[in-house]
Amino acid sequence: MKGKLFLPVLILALLLQATGCGGAAMPTPSPEAYVGVPRLPAATPVPAPVEEYYKGAGVAVPPAEERLIIRTGDISLLVEDTEESLNKIEALALELGGFVVNSNSWKLNDQLQATITIRVPAESFDEARRRIKEGALEVQSENTSAQDVTEEYVDLEARLTYLEETEEELRELLDSARERGEKAEGILAIYRELSNIGIQVEQTKGRMQYLERSAAMSALTVNLTPKEEIPLVEKEWSWIRTVRDSIYDLVVGLQFLADIATRFIITFLPILIIIALPFVLLGWLVAWLLRRRRAKKVE
């Protein structure tokens, strides 16, 4: 009896030991263990709130003031004087600690129009918009947008850490291979991989710097259109120009009449003669017959 019970008891004891004595869960690595481990880019990124992203990675959610927000704006204004408004916007950008990215102006129907793009510190973005609109006659349109790039920046930081660690390991491996006198092919393979990692490091740093600068300095594009004025009297009136224009109109009129006369003589007159000739001959024949009949009556 004891021999028959020994095997089932042994199997049960082994199962309890494997499950951790009574169903206790197996230990899992804490979220902190994954901090700093780079994430492979997914083929189709799944959008998720920033808070969920940070919590899922085991990283504390950064406060709003520490997030990277890229703000941009586009304003179309109706102004009294385009050139004066352009100068004021340039001065405002410098006053707020920003700069002018580009400025273009052109004339349309003898009116100066312009477009200017400035960058100002992110904390002065709303003030810049308010002060620019204050000097306008009318705000024709306004669009603003904000892009949260914190998640991308954190990914780049993790990627940069991984790349720098890989680069350091490759350098050590390269030095070790040189000391051991490895073949040139092996050393060149390590060197090529090291160069590739170095390029990725620089690209990652460049993207991070771009995000930092774009978040620190917001972009604002302003389109300026002057108020259309309809003058009662032409400002630059000239009697000589009026005489010259009148003579020009006279010459054009005479040319028009000459064209009509030439076309009538060369084109329409021969056609009229050809059409009228049978009627003329018929009339002449009728008149001749009438005269002959009268002559016979007289005889």
pLDDT along the chain (299 residues), means of 10: 41 40 36 34 36 46 68 93 92 94 88 93 94 90 92 93 91 85 83 90 94 93 85 67 88 90 88 88 87 77
Beta strands in the chain (DSSP E): 69-79, 99-108, 111-121, 138-148, 217-226
239: amino acid identity, one letter? W
Give the count of alpha carbons within 13 A of 133, CB side only.
17
State which amino acid sits at residue 260.
I
Q: How many CB atoms lie within 10 A of CB 70?
A: 19
Maximum separation of any 2 CA atoms in the chain, in Å: 176
Q: CA-CA distance, 137 to 75, in Å (whole number)?
A: 13
CA nearest neighbour of 225 among 130, 109, 143 = 109
In this prediction, residue 236 carries a pLDDT of 67
Do strands 217-226 and 138-148 pair parallel, antiparallel, or not at all (unpaired)?
Answer: unpaired
Instruction: Tell me what pLDDT residue 173 has.
Output: 87
CB 134 within 8 A of CB 85: no
Burial class (CB in 10 A: 0-12, 13-18, 19+), 155: middle
